[in-house]
């Protein structure tokens, strides 16, 4: 008889799991990277958007918003890893209704990410706390500094969209000493006019390479009054191994744009 245990995910949902997990499918690119780096033998499926590590070689189950549920079930996972923001509740529900356990993370701050990942690896996957997670906690510990720069973080153009309130990215830039000028409204990712971005009151506009791929030829040319900085979207938005070294790398990328 196979022993089992009950775990609570970040949303408080109780999942009945096998005592030892052997097959995981991840629907979250950043968590896919975290598992692939820390316990690669467990990962048997991931989305098309799971691009790290670069040599990741597992079956793909389509996208984060439109996963192929039939393909996921065919992989016979012991557990599917999902995220409240990145994955749809209806897909999570359909998997659970078909008997596939799903563990949902809910991450909107750096401390929340560190704690959620530790619960996942130490408590759910039972792999222990990875070295990169210890390093990330050390790198990002400490109080939030007083802001030194007023920034905006664009995530799309035509129409322009930015990072707003209550996001992981917003908390990360605050811990770098930058004030997100669009934090404080009701929307997490509001649409804005270019004139709201290209104004002298903003010190710099961050142009990451995901989800929209801003490049030297696509993004900076739109701005005449505000400096811009091309930067890594992965370092801004991915919680996991990407957190290690992100502080210095992002600081350098923004300094290069000023």
Instruction: List the domains of the chain with CATH numbers.
Output: 4-108 (3.40.50.1980), 149-257 (3.40.50.1980)
**Model pTM score:** 0.94
Q: Torsion-angle region of residue 107: left (phi > 0), alpha (psi -120 to 50) or beta? A: beta
The residue-averaged pLDDT of 41-48 equals 98
pLDDT of residue 112: 97
pLDDT digits (tens, 9 = 90+) for 96-144: 999 999 999 999 999 999 999 999 999 999 999 999 999 999 999 989 9
Does position 64 have pLDDT exceeding 90, yes or no?
yes
State both tokens at 97.
């209704």
Facing residues of 18 across strands? 4
In percent, the amount of the chain with pLDDT more than 70 equals 99
End-to-end CA distance of the chain: 63
The pLDDT of residue 2 is above 80: no
Q: Taking residues 204-225, what's their average pLDDT? A: 97
- What's the pLDDT score for residue 1? 42
Burial classification of residue 185, based on how many CB atoms lie within 10 Å of its CB (0-12 exposed, 13-18 middle, 19 or more buried): exposed
Q: What is the pLDDT of residue 3?
A: 76
What pLDDT does 158 receive?
A: 95
pLDDT score for 257: 80
Q: How confident is the model over 25-38, as pLDDT tens digits? A: 999 999 999 999 99
Distances (CA, A) of 173 to 15, 109, 164, 170: 34, 10, 12, 5
- Whether the per-residue pLDDT at 186 is higher than 90: the answer is no
Q: Which pLDDT band holds residue 48 (cuts at 50, 70, 90)?
A: very high
Q: 67, 27 in Cβ contact below 8 A?
A: yes
């Amino acid at each position: 008889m196979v022993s089992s245990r009950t775990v609570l995910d970040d949303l408080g949902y109780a999942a009945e799991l096998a005592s030892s997990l052997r097959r995981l499918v991840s629907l979250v690119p950043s968590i896919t990277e975290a598992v692939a780096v820390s316990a690669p033998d467990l990962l048997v499926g991931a989305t098309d958007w799971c691009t790290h590590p670069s040599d990741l070689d597992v079956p793909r189950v389509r996208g984060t918003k439109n996963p192929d549920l039939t393909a996921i079930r065919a992989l016979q996972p012991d557990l599917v890893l999902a995220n409240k923001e990145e994955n749809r509740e209806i897909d999570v529900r359909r998997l659970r209704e078909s008997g596939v356990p799903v563990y949902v993370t809910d991450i909107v701050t750096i401390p929340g990410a560190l704690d959620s990942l530790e619960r996942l690896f130490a408590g759910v996957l039972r792999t222990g706390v990875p070295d990169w997670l210890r390093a990330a906690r050390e790198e990002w510990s400490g109080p939030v500094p007083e802001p030194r720069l007023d920034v905006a973080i664009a995530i799309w153009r035509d129409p322009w969209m930015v990072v707003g309130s209550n996001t992981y990215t917003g908390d990360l830039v605050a811990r770098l000493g930058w004030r997100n000028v669009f934090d404080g409204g009701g929307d997490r990712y509001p649409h804005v006019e270019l004139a709201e971005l290209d104004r002298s009151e903003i010190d710099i506009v961050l142009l990451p390479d995901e989800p929209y791929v801003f490049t030297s030829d696509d993004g900076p040319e739109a701005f005449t009054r505000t400096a811009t900085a091309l930067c890594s979207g992965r370092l801004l938005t991915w919680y996991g191994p990407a957190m290690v070294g992100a502080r210095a790398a992002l600081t350098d990328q923004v300094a290069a744009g000023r």
